[in-house]
Amino acid sequence: MRHVTGRARRARVALAAVLTWAGLLAGATGCTTGGEGGIDIGGLGKPPAPENVIRISPDDNTKGVRPEEKLRVRVPDGRLESVRVVRSQDAQETPVPGHVSDDGLSWEPDDHKLALAAKYTVDAVALDSRGRRSARHTTFTTYVPDERFIGYVSPENRSTVGTGMIVSLEFNREIEHRAAVERAVHVTAEPPVEIRPHWFGNGRLDFRPEEYWRPGTRVTVSLRLRDVEGAPGVYGLQYKTFSFTIGRSQVSLVDAARHTMDVRRDGALLATVPITAGAPKTTTYNGKMVVTEMLEVTRMNGATVGFKKKNGKGEYDIPDVPHAMRLTESGTFLHGNYWASDAFGRVNVSHGCVGLRDVKGGGADTPAGWFFDRSLVGDVVEVVHSNDKTVAPDNGLGGWNMGWNEWKTGSALK
């Protein structure tokens, strides 16, 4: 019997361990190639590269992504553990809501349309089918359009207006995709009432109920125009909400033949005021008009509205017309008049405006001052018995002169 020394015994143990580990390697099954060529032996080697596990589109660092491209996070197997997407736009960061599919293999945003001129950051964590966790961080930026459009809205935010106010948007660009723009504008009221839109050409969109607003109604206007394509290559810029309140009801009836104006507040007659309307050759429009602007004093020059002398100067040029309230875009005003003192209640002498007795500089105790102090933007002034046509629905806020059925046909959404 050979005597085995301690050193030899230790060498044999070490050799046996090496042979055993080599045998395990030779007999191992289910070996896979990990990311970047790493060998995964029984789950002990390198995991796959994150980009092979978590697939995000658009690709990392992509620039100029179009709004119709899809944002999606996917895994080939296993499941997504978490996905967080943040949109950075106009110096603000906003989480992008989304949902993971029932099988856990994909995530998509709730709103599939990407914002323009924005940076998106995606952070995703996933477990593969072997329970190995991977994480991925990507970014991309979206298309920055060269051309934008906005809508100039009346009335003003937080204002109190009369019952005849019509919500009106004037666009700075011609709108070719009117249906898309109309879908992005929402006008609601509390208490609720049906409100319908009407397009005037390709540049103006108005909203109104069937009848004048009820006093006390709160109207909210939501503009969701940002990134809406209003015309080829022209995208909206606004995303805001504002509101206004309907004050008391005041409707005034101007009778051009009788030279009077009946002022009614909440249906009750406040006063009958003597007026002068348009002269026979420069008559006043008939129909319902809405006060859109109130000026303590303003200059009125006939040349600006087509009343010119042969030398090109205006037929009139009054630098200090008091208590002026605009009724039409074409230049019809209801205003104080201090230069035709004998006309009120007797004869029509104006160039189409409705005049009330006043004094130079405007007097508080004159008919014009009294009416001005009791008026609001949005009040209705209706003219009857004038030898003229009815004011056009798009001349100022003249939409009340259009029947409800005709008004509703002006929507771009059929």
Encoded amino acid at 106, one letter: S
Which residues are registered as beta bridge partners of 140?
62, 120
Task: Given the residues 259, 323, 335, 351, select the one marked as catalytic.
Answer: 335
Task: Classify residue 31 as left (phi > 0), alpha (psi -120 to 50) or beta.
Answer: beta
Asked if 353 is an active-site residue, the reply is yes
Encoded tokens for 173: 């660009």
Asked if 112 is an active-site residue, the reply is no
Residue pair 374/250 in contact by the 8 Å Cβ criterion: yes
Residue pair 290/164 in contact by the 8 Å Cβ criterion: yes
CA dihedral 129, 133, 137, 142 (to 10 degrees): 20
| Rounded-to-integer distance, Cα 346 and Cα 196, Å | 42
List strands edge to edge, sheet with 218-224.
160-161, 239-246, 218-224, 185-190
Encoded amino acid at 219, one letter: V
Cβ neighbours for 276, distance < 8 A, ≥ 6 positions apart: 259, 337, 340, 343, 344, 345, 346, 347, 348, 349, 350, 354, 355
DSSP-assigned letter for residue 312? S
Q: How many CB atoms neighbour CB 402 within 10 A?
A: 20
Cite the DSSP H helix spans in 308-403. 367-373
Cβ neighbours for 356, distance < 8 A, ≥ 6 positions apart: 261, 273, 274, 275, 323, 334, 335, 336, 337, 344, 366, 367, 368, 371
Instruction: Count CA atoms within 13 Å of residue 401 on its CB side.
Output: 22
CA dihedral 284, 285, 290, 291 (to 10 degrees): -20
Task: Given the residues 198, 323, 351, 353, select the one marked as catalytic.
Answer: 353
| Rounded-to-integer distance, Cα 129 and Cα 177, Å | 48
Which residues are registered as beta bridge partners of 224?
239
Distances (CA, A) of 34 to 39, 232, 384: 5, 48, 87
Encoded tokens for 70: 């899809």
- Give me the active site residues, please: 335, 353
